[in-house]
Amino acid sequence: MSKIEPRLNLMDVIMLVSGSMIGSGIFIVSADMMRTLGSPFWVLMCWLLSGIITLFAALSYGELAAMMPEAGGQFIFLKRAFGNLTAFVYGWTVFLVIQTGVIAAVAVAFAKYLGVLMPAISQENGFHIGTFFISVSQLVAIVSIIFLTAIHTQGIKNGRSIQRVFTISKLLALFGLIILGFVSLGSENHLAENFNDPFFASKYDPETQQSTPLNWLSILMFSGTALIGALFSSDAWNNVTFLSAEIKNPQRNLPLGLSIGVFIVTIIYILANVAYFILLPALGDPNGTSPQELGIMFAENDRVATAALYSFFGNTSIYIMAILIVVSTFGCNNGLILAGSRLFQSMATNNLFFKQAGQVNKFNVPAKSLWIQCLWASLLCLTGSYGQLLAYATFSSLVFYIVTIIALFVLRKKEPDTLRPYKAWGYPIIPMLYIIITSLICLDLLIFDPKNSILGVVIILLGIPVYFLFSKKQDPASESSK
């Protein structure tokens, strides 16, 4: 096996963190958050809290990443702290739903918005294989995954260039949206009316088309479910740790890049939502006929950003936003595909995945790991269940974030003398706050979204029997690492 050469610098780390975080969520999820809370103030608080707890996690992960700059990142952290079983169950869940499910969902979003520009790409057009229908949109989603996978098999250089170009493009586009919003402060805007009664909140019932006022306890409870949209839009920041072995000076660049990348995205997300609240009424009319009447809460197909641009560009805003989301989702999947393959490569070299996934090709990249990931993500595109998989994956991701932060405490006690080039800022308070807040969010989801949360737990637990199937193939040398 060829030796892995570090080829990614600090700028690449920042681009991977921010580029993997920004997909399509920021452009749409605020509508659902408004229906859940009925308050611009509390929606903004959810975005702020999401950014804070994500930054707390990134600061804590920085210590683990600098301490163990190996391919596989989070998988290696868990293996070292808790052993093979916990690490495998994490890797299993990432492969089954978290990484591949997100890749599939982002690819389908890419195809959906490409269909706005090219109407032939739709869910209605397609063909049957027996009773099974495959749409043109699904095929385009799969082709996009195959295309990016093929690029990454030719070496990391091309993937790195794509990440830089597409991440910078969508950052500039989001800045443009924010600027348009703040320029409108000098003219007619909706900021004052949206924040007229900032602490008031209500829950919208689509069946009755009525909103029910929420008390303080209800606000806290429903904020937990509303947070999922913001957290999903902020996820995948940890993917860069999978590439630790390919990063130059990882002891410095990993913790620094994680913190900077998460901070940039958090600020952009908050400012983008402020722009929405300037350009659109938060509480709209579900029977409205224009973006201004529909507002944020009832934006057509939840396309809040498209509605926000309508006052500037009219119907052309549909195509402008479609281009932006196509760019955003393509760049997002580029980072996800690049990073995910390194996790499965690390699992394979630890005898906890298909052995072929650990092999590298002449370009010194894990080509077979890339194609295995590609195959499963493509199949998820065809199932039509990727949206549901994301619901399971979100809960599962939160669980493993908590477990990984706990690993920080375990390793401080277990390996007190191990060199730590970077120590988690605010330890032990910041990591402990993350564990407490995220645990409360998980508890909230178990109460208010039990189906998806419990199924997420089931997917995690299924990894235990699968682990013992793989562990039988381990050689004696690997047994000592348990």
Confidence at 385, pLDDT banded by 50, 70, 90: low
Q: 351 — alpha (psi -120 to 50), left (phi > 0) or beta?
A: left
Is the pLDDT confidence value at 2 over 80?
A: no
How far, in Å, CA of 188 to CA of 14, rounded?
37
How far, in Å, CA of 288 to CA of 282, rounded?
13
Is the pLDDT confidence value at 111 over 50?
A: yes
Secondary structure percentages of the chain, helix, strand, coil, to 5: 75, 5, 25
> Which is the CATH superfamily of the domain at 10-479?
Amino acid/polyamine transporter I (1.20.1740.10)
Question: How much is the CA Rg of the chain, to the nearest whole Å?
Answer: 22
pLDDT digits (tens, 9 = 90+) for 213-237: 999 999 988 888 889 889 888 888 9
Bridge pairing between strands 210-213 and 126-129: unpaired
What tokens appear for 451 in the block?
Answer: 């189906």
How far, in Å, CA of 455 to CA of 438, rounded?
18
Asked whether 383 and 101 are in contact (CB, 8 A), the reply is: no
What tokens appear for 395 in the block?
Answer: 């809960």
Three-class SS of 168-193: HHHHHHHHHHHHHHHHHHHCCCCHHH
Instruction: Identify which of 411, 341, 425 has the alpha carbon closest to the alpha carbon of residue 145.
Output: 341
Asked whether 33 and 118 are in contact (CB, 8 A), the reply is: no
Report CA-CA distances (Å) from 409 to 63, 73, 77, 79, 404.
Answer: 11, 17, 12, 14, 9
Q: Which one is predicted more confidently, 376 or 224?
A: 376
For the chain, what is the largest distance between any 2 Cα atoms, rounded to a whole number of angstroms? 72
Calculate mean pLDDT across residues 112-121.
Answer: 92
Which residues, in sequence order, are bridge partners of residue 8?
247
How far, in Å, CA of 267 to CA of 271, rounded?
6
Q: 39-60: string of b/e by CB count within 10 Å (b at 16+)? A: bbbbbbbbbebbbbbbbbbbbb
**What's the confidence (pLDDT) of residue 433?**
95
**What's the confidence (pLDDT) of residue 420?**
93
Can you list the pairs that 147-151 forms with residues at least 24 positions away whose Cβ atoms lie under 8 Å? 148/330, 148/333, 148/334, 148/337, 149/337, 149/370, 149/371, 149/373, 149/374
How far, in Å, CA of 341 to CA of 336, rounded?
9
Chain Cα centroid distance, residue 41:
24
Asked whether 296 and 30 are in contact (CB, 8 A), the reply is: yes
Which residues, in sequence order, are bridge partners of residue 119?
none
> How much is the pTM?
0.90
How far, in Å, CA of 284 to CA of 209, rounded?
12
pLDDT digits (tens, 9 = 90+) for 148-193: 999 999 999 888 999 999 999 999 999 999 999 999 887 778 999 9
- Coil, strand, or helix at residue 202? strand
- Counting residues of the chain whose pLDDT is more than 90, the rounded percentage is 71
Average pLDDT across the chain, whole number: 90
CB-based contacts of 283, cutoff 8 Å, min separation 6 = 34, 38, 211, 295, 296, 297
Instruction: Identify which of 113, 99, 152, 1 has the alpha carbon closest to the alpha carbon of residue 400.
Output: 99
> Exposed (0-12), middle (13-18) or buried (19+): which is 34, by Cβ within 10 Å?
buried
**What's the confidence (pLDDT) of residue 480?**
43
